Amino acid sequence: MDANPALFLYPLEHSKILHLVRHAQGIHNVAGEKDHNALLSPEYFDAHLSPLGWQQAGNLRKQIYASGHLERIDLVITSPLCRALQTAIQVFGSEGQINGSKEANIDNSGISSLKCPPIVASELCRERLGVHPCDKRRTISENRSRFPTIDFSLIESDEDILWKTDARETDEEIAARGLKFMNWLWTRPEKEIAIVTHHRFLQHTLNALGNDFHPSVKNKMCKKFENCELRSMIIADKE
């Protein structure tokens, strides 16, 4: 798990530890690697995890448990897209969350007795909006039924009113949304937070955050996340 060394310069009482996770492999990832145009197919609406994706998430759960992070994380924030919700439950869910979800597919292997953090969904950290059906979410009503232990109270609209059929969110718009998300994180009382999100969101958010750093640090921050990869970083208040 990588950390940005430049962010350790400030007192820890004015900092937060973030664990950034790209969702595990989705069925749209498999199709898109073969033919990028497949991402335009309604078949991949709000794409779910592939069999390999479930395996990746289970492996990451075991790594987090072994490292002790699972007991220290105060909160998990996840995108409301299916592949991220499934990853969040599979990696960070407690026994009660896993048993309460219709989506989990996990061998706890002694991990289930741990007290695990609450999981909250946020629209701010979802994937690039528009055009691709795989990036359009289900209704919140349906998601609450499928993921009853995830808190969807931050999402105001039942329908996905952010996703547009004919307009794809620009790089600049994703970066602005990402910075808004990071500013919101700073207002949260929790000190150690895991975020389950997406490739393009991570890419453009970290690229915007990295503008104040040396190019070598920025390159390390912005290196492409693989499916179900976790990187840890500290954000700190310079004041």
Domains detected in the chain: 16-100+114-236 (3.40.50.1240)
What pLDDT digit, counting tens, does each position of 187-224 carry? 999 999 999 999 999 999 999 987 776 676 667 777 89
What residues are labeled active site? 23, 127
DSSP state, residue 212: G
pLDDT of residue 32 exceeding 50, the answer is yes
Residue 9 has pLDDT above 60, yes or no: no
pLDDT of the residue at 97 = 55
Per-residue pLDDT at 152 exceeds 90: yes
For residue 106, what pLDDT is reported? 54
Rg (CA), the chain: 17
Per-residue pLDDT tens for 60-101? 999 998 988 888 999 999 999 999 999 999 999 976 555 445
Proportion of the chain above pLDDT 70, given as a percent: 83
Mean pLDDT of all residues in the chain?
87
Query: For the residues 132-143, what does the mean pLDDT come to?
Result: 98
Residue 51 pLDDT > 50: yes
Compute the CA torsion angle 1, 101, 80, 167 (nearest 10 deg).
120
Considering only 25-39, 58-72, 160-174, 182-196, which range has the smallest mean pLDDT?
58-72
Strand partners, 194: 19, 76
Query: pLDDT band at residue 131, thresholds of 50, 70 and 90?
Result: very high
Alpha-carbon span 223 to 215, nearest angstrom: 12
Structure tokens at 108: 């706890």
Tokens of 231: 């990187």
